[in-house]
Structure 1
Amino acid sequence: MWRLNKVRHKAARQGDSLEELKLKRREHEKALRQARRDRQLVSKRLLLNEDEDQPEVTMDTNSGEQDVVSLFHRLQHTGPERETHLRALSKALRDPSAQLTFIKQENSIHLLVGLLTGSNATCRLQAVRCLHELSHSPHTNVAPTCLPATPYLLTYLSGQSTKFTELCLYTLGNLCPDSDVVKDKLLAQGIIPALTNCIENQRHNLAVVEAVWFTLSQLLQAKDAAEKIVPMVLASSLPSHLLSVLTPDPKFGLAPAIECAWCLHYLTCSVKDNGVLLAHGALPRCSSLLVSLGGAVAEGNKEEEMELLICPLLRCVGNLLSSCPVEDLSTQAGDVRIVVALCAFLQAYLQTQPALARESAWVLNNLTAYSSAFCSALLTLNLVPGLIRLLPLSQGINTMVLRVLANIAHKKKEFGVQLAQLGLLSALCATLKMANHEMVTLSMDVLFMLVVSAPQVAEEFVRQDGLSLLEALQYNSEGEIRQRATHLVEHHLLSYSSICSVDNTPCS
């Protein structure tokens, strides 16, 4: 089900085979998405030239600054060769130094705008490709020079040509991050209504859908997005459209769903109260999709880029849970299969993507913090032994897993007894020896909940020589650890020390 589309809608540039360039593009976009996942970076997208059937463009000189100047002067004159000159210009503008040279030419952008708004359809397409190449520039001073073209790019989002609309969207998306002036101008020019209109008109075209959500995700990563952009988005119909297409397509692949998920993530982490998104059904939608993905992962299906969809979905669910009323948690978060999916992600990505495993544990913690139903599900579905086996790990996974186990123990005393029977006591004996102070402190918190759940649990801990571990911790350099260890020994465990001699077990 989670197969990537092998025949993408973007074709190759001249000089390389189509399949090689598709592979390069997929790898490049994967790297961009991974950077965004790991470091919250904005990313620019460069569409490949789809005109692979055209003859190779012959240029008088090598691509570079001189070519740009020469082509600019030629384009100022009308003639049958204008289309050829525009294609040559778009190719030359792939060079960052040539981009700077071009914008320094007087009225260069206005020339492109004139061609963009002219009657020649081919020239319009090539003009927007030139603007697209400029929008991909690493130089931040290039984006503001493209402002004269933005009203037309927004207007053309309602056009009928998929190729043209897609180019306009990615050009706008690339221009957003470089300049607050550009971003504010786009907002004033109505980019949010334009994106809304575009998705309503072309919601069945997944190439355009992907481009819409990419452009919106670029906007939502602005520093002032929470104040200026998110309220406009939430007041529009974009959230409902976003959730309606938050599904991987079996033929097209994961890319549109990935862009949707990142948009939703930026929305959920930008506001304190996610009531609007909860009202739209965002939590059950994301939970349901995670359940489906968890089933695929549990069966050994880890398709390329699947983790890039799982990551933002996990963050969405974790953030939405913090806004969800406790009384609505069970219905909003979906059925208990969500904990199965989260445990599947934990196991599957433990070695290859530890950050993803840690986020899975974080969502599991948020789920179990207020819900006895999800705590009970972990026990009845026999998922706890797998969690206990993760306690010797590091990278923050063990501390989060221990918090999950603490949530379970806290809910009901019988849960504490079950945890002890499943081997948590012996695991705590190991974690109490760790150098990580947070793990030791958390271990004593969990131990406290276990030993007060039933006398037999306290007796079993003493049998396992746990009392000597706590007595050693009474000399720890951390005052909080010393106090907790002393409290456990003197108030909850010292009275059971006599069981050692009764059972002929040597005491410390």
Structure 2
Amino acid sequence: MWRLNRVRHKAGRQGDSLEEFRLKRREHEKALRQARRDRQLVSKRLLLNEDEEQPEVTMDTTSGEQVVVSLFHRLQHNGPERESHLRALSKALRDPSAQLTFIKQENSMHLLVGLLTGSNAQCRLQAVRCLHELSHSLDSKVAPACLPATPYLLTYLSGQSTKFTELCLYTLGNLCPDGVVKEKLLAQGIIPALANCIENQRHNLAVVEAVGFTLSQLLQSKDAAENIIPMVLASSLPSHLLSVLTPDPTFGLAPAIECAWCLHYLVCSIEDNSPMTQQLLAHGALSQCSSLLVSLGGAVAEGNKEEGMELLVCPLLRCVGNLLSSCPVDSLSARVGDVRLVAALCALLQAYFHTQPALARESAWVLNNLTAHSSAFCSALLTHNLIPGLIQLLPFSQGINTMILRVLANVAHKKKEFCVQLAQLGLLPALCATLKMADQEMVTLSLEVLFMLVVSQPQVVDEFVRQGGVSLLEAIQYNSEGEMRRRAAYLLEHHLLSYSSDCTVDDIPRS
């Protein structure tokens, strides 16, 4: 006789069934990570002078190229006007055609590197601004042309002024997505240089933010898992990234956002249960990210949703959701540290449900991973009266309702007492609605949850029948195919047969 399959859980399975489930889960998580990795896009940042924020008149292409050639020839001659010529050159290099014109000039980069390494501090600053403008180019020829300057940019990360260090970092961050430049930077020691920089400048959040940007550009490389992440984990960078996660009340969210995305790129590029994942867990990545989500969820619940907060919430959710898959069940509570995380996730789900459904879906995904592991977190959903809010979201789609139904299935799977409480909180009428949906996944999940409810207590069966549940199951049995039909038939035969209007045992399909 066909037996109802349980909702996917890490616990509660035996033998081959458990191993099959784990294999499917690993493949599913791998697909999720790959999809996220494929959708990650490197970006470029352009720092403006504080005194140049006003819009400038854009020169035409021909005049821009002529200006660059003229300034290049003037810079070849030493003199007191060199600084002003460099300043003018940095502005002219904002024109893409002017950038190509400059790198085509013989010895142009040699000249710029000479000014970058010279004794005149102001000329050094303007020279790095010129390099910064070049690094922002989208033309594939420009980044390799800047290679002669990269050793000096790395060297300057250990000193100079804050403004100078920021410019060097963002210039390196703009250049490193180019494959040739990235390989050279790795060989030149960019990872230890970034680690030293963030360690020496940990109180300067503008520099910390720039380090996070540059590191995130590197971590998005396709070969990051093999060639970059091991070096990052062997350095002091993970502990520094985690220490920056708490937003600064005066500086804002930006440094925490950059560091959180770095952590996400680290986590999503590593295989589940690998030594590198365990190393991140040992650093406290799960507990730190969870703790910050509790704070952010609490703020959102009180109506304090700071602008840009979603840029921090998203990588934190992804870190926690992926790390949960590698965290041993017996140490989950200690790693997460606070059952209030379920309340925070529900608050974030509700807050972003209408405005950013993708982020709400991420919140529900983490909630699913959390409740699949632990009875304590399932119990917290009931204790904090969070179930009614989740039930209200079941009629909505965009993938959120299926994930929420999985969460409710996790709760029902843990204890019969939980099933009774779910029924008392109004889950049966909601299931009557979801059983009518066209979404086959929703109907199949609804049948699984319904099975767990009806076997928990006779009163649940009576209540389901009073709400017209038998006719719903009969409709599914006669109008559906495959898995849904078998599940509906099983429920009718074994638990609702005495209530069925026209169904006999001989009518029940068997497999």
**Cα 1:37/1:47, change in 2 over 3 Å:** farther
Whole-angstrom CA distance in 2 between matches of 1:74 and 1:246: 47
Once the two structures are TM-superposed, the CA of residue 103 in structure 1 deviates from its matched residue by 0.8
1:494 aligns with 2:511: no
Paired residues of 2:37 and 2:220 also in contact (CA < 8 A): no
What SS does structure 2 have at the residue aligned with 1:395?
coil
TM-score for both structures, normalised by structure 2: 0.87
Partner of 2:139: 139
2:342 is the counterpart of 1:339? yes
CA distance in 2 between counterparts of 1:444 and 1:142 reads 59
Q: CA deviation at 1:53?
A: 11
Query: How big is each residue's C-alpha offset from its partner over 1:92-117, in whole Å with a ceiling of 9 and x where there is no partner?
Result: 00011111111111111111101001
User: Structure 2: how far apart are the matches of 1:109 and 1:383?
Assistant: 62
Instruction: Answer whether contact 1:87 1:126 (CA < 8 A) is retained.
Output: yes
> How far is the alpha carbon of 1:175 from its aligned partner?
0.3
Quote how far apart the aligned CAs of 1:334 are.
Answer: 1.7
Q: Which amino acid aligns with 1:298?
A: A
Deviation at 1:476?
3.0
1:143 positional shift:
0.4
Q: What residue is the counterpart of 2:413 in the other structure?
A: 410
Q: Is the 8 A contact 1:37 1:311 kept in 2?
A: no
Determine the structure 1 residue equivalent to 2:128. Answer: 128
Post-superposition offset of 1:51: 4.5
**What is the aligned partner in structure 1 of residue 447 from structure 2?**
444
Q: 1:305 aligns with which of 308, 320, 328?
A: 308
Aligned twin of 1:12: none
1:492 deviates by: 1.7
Report the AA paired with residue 200 of structure 1. Answer: E
**1:98-497 counterparts in 2 under 5 A?**
98-177=98-177, 179-272=178-271, 273=274, 274-497=277-500
Letter in 1 for 2:327: C
Q: Which amino acid aligns with 2:407?
A: V
Q: Which amino acid aligns with 1:40?
A: Q
Q: Which moved more, 1:363-372 or 1:469-478?
A: 469-478
| Whole-Å separation in 1 of the counterparts to 2:62 and 2:246 | 45
C-alpha displacement of 1:496: 4.5
- 1:39, distance to aligned residue in structure 2 (A): 3.9
Contact 1:459 1:496 in 2 (8 A): no
Q: Specify the SS of the correspondent of 1:458.
A: helix
Is this contact kept in 1: 2:299–2:305, CA < 8 A?
yes
User: What is the aligned partner in structure 1 of residue 94 from structure 2?
Assistant: 94
* Structure 1 residues 327 and 94, CA gap change in structure 2 (3 angstroms): same
Deviation readout 1:40-61 (Å, 9 max, x if unpaired): 211111001134599x99x9x9
Displacement of 1:62? 8.6
Q: What is the root-mean-square deviation in Å for CA atoms of aligned residues?
A: 2.0
TM-score, length basis structure 1: 0.88
Equivalent pairs counted in the alignment come to: 460
Q: Quick one: distance in 2 between partners of 1:73 and 1:478?
A: 78
- The corresponding residue for 2:508 is none
Larger displacement relative to structure 2 (185-194 or 474-483): 474-483
SS at match of 1:64: helix
| Contact preservation (8 Å) 1:462, 1:497 | no
Instruction: Kindly state the Cα deviation for residue 176 of structure 1 after the two structures are TM-superposed.
Output: 1.0
How far does residue 457 in structure 1 lie from its aligned partner after superposition?
1.0
Residue 38 of structure 1 and its aligned partner are, at CA, apart by: 11
Task: Return 5+ residue gaps in structure 2 as ranges.
Answer: 1-35, 502-511
Tell me, yes or no, if the aligned pair for 2:492 and 2:500 is still in contact at 8 Å.
no
**Structure having greater relative contact order (Cα 8 Å, sep ≥ 6):** 2
Q: Residues of 1 paired with 2:65 and 2:479: CA distance? A: 68
Task: Tell me the SS of whatever aligns to 2:94.
Answer: coil
Higher alpha-carbon deviation: 449-458 or 475-484? 475-484
Question: How much has 1:480 moved relative to structure 2?
Answer: 1.3
Asked if the contact 1:409/1:450 (under 8 Å) is kept, the reply is yes
- The answer as to whether partners of 1:112 and 1:127 remain within 8 angstroms in 2 is yes
Could you tell me how far apart the structure 2 residues matched to 1:271 and 1:43 are? 22
* Pairwise CA distance, 1:275: 0.5
